Amino acid sequence: MGALSPWHLALILVAVLLLSGYKKLPDAARSIGRSMRIFKGEMQGLRDDDVRAEEPAPAGARGQTPVTGEIVA
């Protein structure tokens, strides 16, 4: 009982086709494609947020702690 062979995948595809009908498959594939695009966009947004968080803050930005001995105005 190893990984799925091409025959197993073909049988699963035939079973799905028989159970759902050929008219519903294009709609199902379309909705899966939309979901994948949304998921991909959200993952890219998370990566962009991580990159922005790692960028150093500009000098003199609020919230930085002064170095010992530094005069703060």
Please give the pLDDT value at position 60: 56
Both structure tokens of 71: 């005069």
Task: Give me the pLDDT at residue 38, please.
Answer: 95
What pLDDT is recorded for position 16? Answer: 85
pTM of whole model > 0.85? no
31 and 39 Cβ atoms separated by less than 8 Å:
no
Tens of pLDDT, residue by residue over 16-58, are 888 888 788 888 889 999 999 999 999 998 888 877 777 765 6
- pLDDT tens by residue, 54-73: 776 565 555 556 566 666 66
Cα distances (angstroms) measured from residue 72 to each of 56, 57, 59, 63, 69: 20, 18, 13, 12, 9
